[in-house]
A = this chain, B = another copy of it.
Amino acid sequence: MSHVDTPLEHDDRMEFQLERLILFTDAVFAIAITLLVIEIKVPELHHVQSERAVMIATLNLLPKFIGFLVAFFVIAIYWTAHHRVFRFVHRYTTGLIWLNIVFLLSIVLMPFTAAFQGDYPTMKTPWILYACCVIFTGLMQVRLQVYIRNPARGLTLRHHSTHPDLDPFRPLISVLIFSLSLVLSAVGFILAAKFTLLLIWPFMVLYNRYRYRPLLRAYEQRFGVAA
């Protein structure tokens, strides 16, 4: 820990400063994903404390539990996306910090919107709210990737800007699916709106085959390295 007054700027702390931004993000993700469960309240049995009553109360938690599972994996998917994207980031700017904070805003809201739709599984409004929240997260993910891959900003090594893992079309898939789900819910097909989420898998398969792999091949041919 030298105190020699060499004129080195805070660039020497760049790496830790960036790690701090990322670990703060991870802490917010970890808390949001763990708080999901405190919205599943232990059932209270005021009148009859029979084995049968407990079992029925447990089964009644099922819609809440399914809502919890969906929300858990939605947050997990965005965490893995953040983890995948930020491995290219070597520098930060004030702009990146604030884009990341607005991205986190949408994550922080999820324990509320997820619990709301878990409490009213047959209602439109909570699902619309939840879908809006996920769409907002997806759009912020797109915005982050467009910002990070922009070679003019110099946040990544220059050739990384064409890496398929920074392709902003991937986060658009969940934006598309949740928008479709939102519309279906708004016109009254609530069950269909929820099953729409299952479309994410085939869309991801199509995306991987017809966009990700060609991009990766192009990237590898140009830079001669296995990603």
Please tell me if the beta carbons of B123 and A72 are within 8 angstroms of each other in the complex: no
How many A residues are at the interface, by size bracket? 35 or more
Residues on B with C-beta less than 8 A from A87 are: 10, 13, 17
Residues on B with C-beta less than 8 A from A22 are: 20
Residues on B with C-beta less than 8 A from A79 are: 24
Please tell me if the beta carbons of B34 and A125 are within 8 angstroms of each other in the complex: no
Please tell me if the beta carbons of B39 and A34 are within 8 angstroms of each other in the complex: no
Contacting B at CB under 8 A, from A1-55, are 1, 3, 5-11, 13-17, 19-24, 26-40, 42-43, 45, 49, 51, 54-55
Please tell me if the beta carbons of B7 and A37 are within 8 angstroms of each other in the complex: no
Q: Flag the segment in A109-117, A135-143, A194-202 that touches B.
A: A109-117
Given contacts A30-B28, A32-B34, contact A97 B123 (CB under 8 A): no
Please tell me if the beta carbons of B97 and A80 are within 8 angstroms of each other in the complex: yes
Chain A 91-131 interface 0/1 with B at a Cβ cutoff of 8 Å (1 = within): 10010011001001100110110011001100111100100
7 A-B pairs besides A3-B90, A54-B125 with CB distance below 8 A are A9-B226, A10-B88, A10-B160, A21-B83, A33-B108, A38-B38, A49-B123
